Chain A
């Protein structure tokens, strides 16, 4: 099957209509795809494979972490403040150099070939990274230019994304007057405009109102349905519970539990436990062990 960067209607989630590129599982390049985009990969390749990842600041922030995220999976990474979630994801995104360990993104060694890894990956932080003096459309044009996307494809994709996120009235307004929620949506659109295979989001729902949060969640679900992999940290456990295929709990820089909600319940020995109860129990256990 051929992959294409053309936008297509892929479904309606929570009453919102979403479009996404027709990538759908295959890594074979389509007619509009970026020629620099890495091509054919074995289907059994993980979206993200982290081995022995270590980072120390004053104390170990990430401690020989092993983590595997499958392709097409929505993975939620949970943990208390200071557990090492953001540090882990910043190292995966190439924003921080690990002290030790290996990071593989869809089969690409991200430490040896960061440019190739970045080509198929997007990073969204909790603080929207946008320029006050650009309009959302100009911002997306800049991002598409950085990722080397064909301008015609990028323009149509940008328009679709901004409309999907409810930003149509703001297309030509400068970002300087936008609320946190709108800024976060613009940043998210920027992350998606180059059609990444792996999307990493650090607390993307912080500061969003209910409708904006629904827009964002819907868009991410749509991407996962289209074959994209999403890794997201969140403190909103209800979001992880409802959206994630698998959940990883990190504490003191180590993965202390991982699995589907059912698997986590089994590990915890109680079928009726909520994710919140399990999370608190796990974190308390780790704190007591320390």
Chain B
């Protein structure tokens, strides 16, 4: 096999792997794949409705744009880029640490530089494909309502995907060089989450500090932002101009991102092999436990709780994955702090944010404790009724949620005791709901599969999200319009009951 043929073959292999990985991520079990694909297509079609609601009003935009519109469009594109960068960092990290074929590749008689160039290109391709897929409903809406000139927005998305992949590879390899492979995995995961959420949070923080509102558009559409913005000819506006159909800008953008990706491939492909070796060597490093204390006395349930807390504490990657959701608590916490000096009615917005964050975090933790049991046979053969095991695990979730949210609710109690009480009640309800859904849909899995927990049951994933949103809405209504809260609460309870009804039967 010639070198070129080998590379083509490897590229096909990479694309096939990426496709199957994505398909497995989206559809879960093979048996239900056809049904899941149909479900995804229906969902994609359905997504055009919210996309229309969000972006439909921009369909008539024509060049030249005013500064406020330029800022909003550019910020939206930058947000998409940040999200893609976050996704790309995760993909690159996974390639270093999780691909099972690295030994085979490294021992094969092919030039590693070429092989890793192909792999970098495959990462860029899969990130771009994902970006195209996610942006389709939005661009479709723009094209339907505003004409084919919006087709160029797909070109911007491709440029976003390619450049995000290039920057992600550079960041990850540099992290390896700077902090070493053992810390890179965690650092990269945290960085990915911060980049993904950071832009929105930063806008919210600026809005709170300047205008006392959680709305991120407050900053973007402000006169101050327009005053500081550069002129129309600035490269900063190229992506926005390209998106609305400026072919010249689009060509420049695509060329720039391709050059960036090519540069990254040229610079970093030779370093890839060394990085991979370092990463795999780190996997075998032994870490010492912290204690030689005597065995603890306590009940069987307390042994289970102790184990769960210890495992959570010792797995910073899992903790970071779970706690990243708490980044979204930063703006409300800031708003709470601001409300002490300013009795703004906007503090009421804190309640749904806290309730929703609690519900989402509880869902993740409940999955870890209930489904993500690495020694399921051991626990199942222990002389404990299954109910006691489940109770101990749910207690761990409740304790963790209480520890995280109690300080925030206590601070809220100083500003508004009534609102704090309502928030506390709905945090408990959201936590119990999320834990119950995980319990009804539990499957045996390894903790390392945490990122893919959604694939085991789409129904559970959606039910968990909708219940969190439902309880958050009920909580804010309970504070503002109590009668409406009864209706909202009943609807959410009904949704929970329906989820229970369709959940798999348990012994």
* Residues of chain A whose beta carbon lies under 8 Å from any beta carbon of chain B: 36, 93-95, 97, 115-116, 118-119, 121-123, 125, 129-135, 137-138, 141-148, 151-152, 154-155, 158, 170, 172-174, 176-178, 190
Contact = CB atoms under 8 A, between A and B. Distances in A.
7 contacts: A36-B383, A95-B380, A115-B384, A137-B289, A138-B291, A152-B295, A177-B286
Interface residues of B, number: 38
A142 B288 contact: no
A141 B384 CA distance: 16
The listed residue with most A CB atoms (<10 A of its CB), out of B283, B288, B378, is: B378
Nearest to A158: B295
A91 B378 CA distance: 14
Interface stretch (B32-40, B90-98, B297-305, B357-365): B297-305
A14 B24 CA distance: 50
Given A121-B381, A133-B311, A152-B294, 7 more contacts: A94-B381, A115-B383, A130-B374, A131-B311, A134-B310, A174-B286, A174-B314
A173 B286 contact: yes
A118 B381 contact: yes
B74 to A, nearest CB: 44
Contacts of B295: 141, 144-145, 151-152, 154-155, 158
B178 interface: no
A116 B289 CA distance: 33
A115 B385 CA distance: 6
A27 B300 CA distance: 23
Given A146-B304, A174-B288, A94 B380 contact: yes
A115 B380 CA distance: 10
B306 interface: yes
A152 B378 CA distance: 22
Interface of B: 283-289, 291-292, 294-300, 302-304, 306-307, 310-311, 314-315, 374-385, 507
Nearest to A155: B295
A142 B289 CA distance: 14
Given A135-B289, A151-B295, A174-B288, A143 B385 contact: no
Nearest to A133: B314
Contact of B375 (A116, A129, A145, A151): A129
Given A173-B288, A176-B287, A143 B378 contact: yes
Contact of A123 (B296, B314, B381): B381
Interface centre among A133, A144, A173, by most chain B C-beta atoms within 10 angstroms, is A133
A209 B289 CA distance: 26
Contacts of A131: 307, 311, 374-375
Contact of A95 (B284, B294, B377): B377
A181 to B, nearest CB: 15
Contact of A177 (B287, B302, B379): B287
Contact of B374 (A115, A129, A151): A129
A142 B299 CA distance: 11
Contacts of A176: 286-287
B300 A129 contact: no
A125 B377 contact: yes
A129 to B, nearest CB: 4
Contact of B289 (A95, A152, A172): A172
With most chain A CB atoms within 10 A of its CB, the pick from B294, B307, B376, B507 is B307
Contact of B284 (A170, A172, A177): A177
Given A115-B384, A131-B374, A146 B379 contact: yes
Contacts of B303: 141-142, 144-146
A195 to B, nearest CB: 13
A132 B374 contact: yes
Contacts of B379: 146
Contacts of B375: 129-131
A148 B297 CA distance: 9
B97 to A, nearest CB: 13
Contacts of B307: 131, 134, 142
Given A130-B375, A133-B310, A151-B297, A119 B381 contact: no
